[in-house]
Homo-oligomer: A and B are copies of this chain.
Amino acid sequence: MPTYTPPLRDIRFTFEHIAGLDELAKLDGLTHADLDSSMDVVGEFGRFCVDKLLPTNRPGDVAGSRVVDGRVVTPAGFKEAYAAYFEAGWSSVPFEPGYGGGGFPWLVALAMQEILNSVNMAFALCPLLTQGFIELLTVHGTEQQKQRYLTKLISGEWTGTMNLTEPEAGSDVGALRTRAVKQADGTYRISGTKIFITYGDHDMAENVVHLVLARTPEAPPGTKGISLFIVPATLVDDDGALGERNKVNVVSIEHKMGIHASPTCVLEFDGAVGELVLDEQQGMRGMFTMMNNARLSVGTQGLGLCEAAYQAALQYAKVRTQGRAVGSPAGTSSPIIEHPDVRRMLLTMKAYTEASRALCYFNARQVDLAHHHPDPDARAEAAQLGALLTPLSKAWVTDLANEVTSLGVQVHGGMGFIEETGVAQLYRDARIAAIYEGTNGIQAIDLVLRKVPLRGGAVLTEMVSRMRATAQELAGAPGALASVGSRLADALDTVEEANAWLRRNAEDPDQLLAAATPYLRLLSQVVGGWLLGVEALAASRALSGAPSDDRAFLEAKVATACFYAEHLLPMVEGLIATITSGKEALFATPADAL
Contacts and interface: CB of A to CB of B under 8 A. Distances in A.
Interface of A: 165, 168, 170-172, 175, 195-196, 221, 254-258, 314, 318, 321-323, 326-327, 331, 333, 335, 337-347, 350, 402, 406, 409-410, 413-414, 416-420, 424, 427-428, 431-432, 434-436, 439-441, 444-445, 480, 509-510, 513-514, 516-517, 552-553, 555-556, 559-560, 562-563, 566-568, 570-578, 581, 583, 585-594
A511 to B, nearest CB: 9
A577 B573 contact: yes
B556 A347 contact: no
Contact of A566 (B409, B566, B581): B581
A269 to B, nearest CB: 19
A558 to B, nearest CB: 8
Given A570-B573, A570-B577, 6 more contacts: A341-B513, A414-B436, A416-B435, A552-B593, A570-B575, A572-B574
25 contacts: A165-B414, A171-B413, A196-B414, A256-B419, A257-B419, A257-B428, A258-B417, A318-B591, A338-B591, A339-B513, A340-B510, A340-B514, A340-B583, A344-B514, A345-B441, A346-B594, A406-B431, A410-B439, A413-B435, A416-B435, A552-B592, A559-B585, A563-B586, A570-B574, A574-B574
A570 B518 CA distance: 12
Which 6 A-B residue pairs are closest in the complex by CB-CB distance?
A: A570-B577, A566-B581, A574-B574, A559-B588, A340-B513, A552-B593
A540 B291 CA distance: 49
A525 to B, nearest CB: 9
Contact of A432 (B221, B417, B589): B417
Contacts of A427: 257, 431
A254 B424 CA distance: 13
Nearest to A480: B588
A327 B508 CA distance: 11
A274 B364 CA distance: 65
A340 B417 contact: no
A439 B413 contact: yes
Nearest to A327: B510
Contacts of A568: 578
A95 B338 CA distance: 42
A328 to B, nearest CB: 12
B175 A333 contact: yes
Contacts of A553: 593
A480 B517 CA distance: 24
Contacts of A342: 441
A193 to B, nearest CB: 15
Contacts of A258: 417
A175 B332 CA distance: 10
A420 B255 CA distance: 7
A594 B342 CA distance: 13
A398 B473 CA distance: 42
A170 B323 CA distance: 9
A172 B594 contact: no
B591 A335 contact: yes
Contacts of A566: 577-578, 581, 585
Contacts of A337: 591, 594
Contact of A255 (B340, B419, B440, B559): B419
A178 to B, nearest CB: 17
Contacts of A559: 585, 588-589
Contacts of A424: 256-257, 431
Nearest to A593: B552
Contacts of A417: 254, 256-258, 431-432, 435
Contacts of A562: 585, 588
Contact of A256 (B406, B418, B513, B593): B418
Contacts of A514: 340-341, 344
Contacts of A552: 590, 592-593
